[in-house]
Amino acid sequence: MRTQFAALAATLCCGMTLHAQDNLPAAAPPAASGTQTNVARMSEVVVKERADSLLGIAESASQGTVGADQLEHRTLSRPGEVLETVPGVIITQHSGAGKANQYFLRGFNLDHGTDFSTSLDGMPINLPTHGHGQGYTDLNLLIPELVSAINYRKGPYYADVGDFSSTGTANIEYFRALPQSELTLEGGSFNYGRAVFISSPKVGDGHLLYGVEAYHNDGPYDHPDDFHRFNGVVRYSQGNDANGWSVTAMGYHGDWDASDQLAQRAVDLDVVDRFGSLDTTTGGDSQRYSLSGEWHRADTHSATKITAYGFYYDLDLFSNFTYYDAFPVGDQFEQMDKRWVGGVRGQHTWFGQFFNREMENSVGLDVRHDAIHNGLFNTVGRERVDKLDYDGVLHSATVREDHIGQTSVSPWLQNKMQWAEKFRTVAGLRADVYHFDVDSDRRENSGNVTDGIVSPKGALIFGPWADTELYLEGGLGFHSNDARGATTRVDPVTGLSADADGNPIEPVDPLVRTCGAEVGVRTTFIPHLHSTLSLWWLDIDSELLFVGDAGTTEASRPSRRYGVEWANYYTPLKWLTLDADFSFSHARFRDSDPAGDYIPGSIESVIAAGITLHHLGERGFFGGIRLRYFGERPLIEDNSVRSDITALVSLRVGYDFSKNWSLSAEVYNLLNRKDSEIDYYYGSRLRGETATVDDVHSHPADPISFRVALTARF
């Protein structure tokens, strides 16, 4: 082992060229004719979809790839649901459709993205120190028809990913070139309409890929969402998987009204029906414009990849979750987030041998800077106003407003070693250094903080025997907290009136340690069946969060989660696929508290299963039926209040009239169940109530609805 560590150290010192290698390696070109070399790459296989074997390639049982073929026939009620192809992931919503989704995985309510890292062609989607929620991940910028693959990995075991990746990470990849141009026109229930055009003509030595999307949906609500979304993508690329480059520009704009979650008593008392609203002026608008470039090259000796990106992001979000609890005129508030982001990701990998055993050494570096302007404001009807509370105290329209600079620098190194025919290892080390500079509207809440953390990772892989591999991995990880939480010393809410100084509060730790381990098995022993089983465990030192809805920090308790995942993908016939994924989790706080040790919102069971009928030749039927189930969840620490289950079935059928024309129809919530998208338990006050009432607050799942699409390819 001492020799292995020496090799790692030499690797770190040898080269300054940086590279950000794909999650799964692409095949390198053969050596030139007549060249003699003893160097070999460990895994010269291109993995494109879940049906491909990852034996000899994957570092864990919970790693995989979803291809475009799997996405083609899935019903997607929202773009973010492409991530529901990752076993165990649930995508839902608690407010207007233009807002980032809610994410669930491995016993976590991940809120809007905390602890699950998402990127698009290497460009990060998660937004730290966000106006609404830490790690905010809005996937409305996706055009699903352009997605070529989703590479996912779970757990804090991978050196090349850092912040927000403790439960997992997914890199969504767009095509570089399309086999043909495509126009899709869709329409359906609740004034749903969508038009998409994608194409990639050959220009010079490369391809110019472009796509545009226009979208509208009112949803089933008494006060319609009136969600408009516009997306555009332009990419020019040259080369192949081994050597090439690309430049990509993307733009997204959306605006919407929203029906926030409703108190159950408001529905029971017929104040509103389950699709009603207690504040018809909530909603928002958002936009994101990006420019990125990528360059990669590979041969039999090494591989290099560099990705650079920059984007502008803007969100204005108006919400009201407690109705009239704090103010007689209503509790509506605005959260604003505007930022410029720039960064670079790079990695260089050497392919070699160590005592005639295949070896890969990699070094990498991630650098990112966010220049952020965000704020929290009291509003009525989307107008910022001062408000009188029930005691006659005047509260300023501005709860807090901040200008923030957040910079992270993250070097890492990794060694992969094939020690024997049936045994290989992965060892990695990552360092993350963060600097937060907060200029707040209150001097007491301004300041700068620098923090760092080092995270070792490792995996032991045994096999394959009988087309079966065994995995044992573990590692340390982290998630960052909101920069404002690291510098805030005075509660901005209690300090809003002119004669109030505000309650003192303790700043939170900028970086919070996580620790996880996993035992897994992957097998293709049964013909055409890919099956994985994982037993996992994850500890978090403290689920410290900045509470964007209140403008303060809240330190929750240390927690522990463990569970089992069983994922199955079966293709008995070329045109038929059956998949069934089962996930069960146990989540508890680790300390002792009279309130209880259950973690509110922690998901306990997820079942996703489906049957897919693929195209039968150039003409024929296609489609599928899917079940999406997530079970009861505790909503309060003592488990005295729990959510109901959600079980939704969707259906898609279509027909290829020719190789150029197809017609399809989709049905959502086929059984027309009155389930919830999400449930919470907290205090609120309806108009006319004299005190706060603790209650379940829910956002309803759509009733049975239909969509029809006509697609032309040319």
Mean pLDDT of the 638-647 span = 96
Cα-trace Rg, the chain:
25
445 DSSP 8-state letter: G
- Residue for token pair 């009928």: 613
Residue-level pLDDT at 418: 96
Say whether pLDDT at 182 is over 90. yes
- With contact defined as beta carbons under 8 Å apart, do 164 and 408 qualify? no
- With contact defined as beta carbons under 8 Å apart, do 653 and 626 qualify? no
Amino acid letter for position 101: N
DSSP letters of 530-546? EEEEEEEEEEES--EEE
Provide the pLDDT confidence category of residue 73 given band limits of 50, 70 and 90.
confident
Neighbour count for residue 645 (Cβ, 10 Å):
14
Q: What tokens appear for 351 in the block? A: 């392919």
Say whether pLDDT at 608 is over 50. yes
Q: What tokens appear for 555 in the block? A: 């330190």
* 291: Cβ contacts below 8 Å, ≥ 6 apart: 247, 248, 249, 309, 310, 311
- Spatial distance between the Cα atoms of 133 and 554, rounded to a whole number of angstroms: 13
- Spatial distance between the Cα atoms of 624 and 613, rounded to a whole number of angstroms: 6
Residues 494, 495, 501, 503, CA torsion sign: positive
Provide the pLDDT confidence category of residue 364 given band limits of 50, 70 and 90.
very high
397 DSSP 8-state letter: S
The domain defined by 2-30+39-713 folds into: Maltoporin; Chain A (2.40.170)
- Spatial distance between the Cα atoms of 610 and 488, rounded to a whole number of angstroms: 48
* 192: Cβ contacts below 8 Å, ≥ 6 apart: 186, 216, 217, 218, 705, 707
The CA-atom distances, in angstroms, between 251 and each of 142, 345, 576 are 10, 21, 37
Indicate the SS3 state at residue 232: strand
Burial of 631 (0-12, 13-18, 19+ CB in 10 A): middle
Per domain, the residue ranges of the chain are 2-30+39-713
Mean pLDDT of the 569-584 span = 95
Does 552 or 625 have the greater pLDDT score? Answer: 625
* 268: Cβ contacts below 8 Å, ≥ 6 apart: none
DSSP letters of 447-480? EEEEEEEEEEEEEEEEEEETTEEEEEEEEEEEEE
Residue-level pLDDT at 27: 37
Mean pLDDT of the 100-125 span = 93
Provide the pLDDT confidence category of residue 48 given band limits of 50, 70 and 90.
low
Give me the chain's average pLDDT, please. Answer: 90
Q: What tokens appear for 39 in the block? A: 């160097």
- Residue for token pair 């704009």: 253
- Spatial distance between the Cα atoms of 455 and 429, rounded to a whole number of angstroms: 6
- Residue for token pair 């070109």: 29
- Spatial distance between the Cα atoms of 170 and 64, rounded to a whole number of angstroms: 10
pLDDT tens digits for 612-633?
Answer: 998 776 678 999 999 999 999 9
The CA-atom distances, in angstroms, between 667 and each of 226, 629, 670 are 21, 17, 6
Say whether pLDDT at 39 is over 80. no
Mean pLDDT of the 656-684 span = 94
- Spatial distance between the Cα atoms of 505 and 201, rounded to a whole number of angstroms: 58
- With contact defined as beta carbons under 8 Å apart, do 174 and 120 qualify? yes
Burial of 542 (0-12, 13-18, 19+ CB in 10 A): middle
702 DSSP 8-state letter: P
Indicate the SS3 state at residue 6: helix
Is cis: bond before 128, omega within 30 of 0?
Answer: no
- Spatial distance between the Cα atoms of 142 and 412, rounded to a whole number of angstroms: 29
- One-letter-per-residue 3-state SS of 244-294: EEEEEEEEEEEEEECCCCEEHHHHHCCCCCCCCCCCCCCEEEEEEEEEEEE
pLDDT tens digits for 657-668?
Answer: 888 999 999 999
Does the global pTM surpass 0.85?
A: yes
First to last CA, the chain: 57
Q: Which range is least confidently modeled, 70-74, 430-434, 464-468, 544-548?
A: 544-548
Q: Which range is least confidently modeled, 25-29, 499-503, 511-515, 660-664?
A: 25-29
Phi then psi dihedrals of residue 128, to 5 deg:
-75, 160
- Spatial distance between the Cα atoms of 537 and 308, rounded to a whole number of angstroms: 34
- One-letter-per-residue 3-state SS of 73-103: CCCCCCHHHHHHHCCCCEEECCCCCCCCCEE
CA nearest to 701, candidates 681, 670, 673: 673
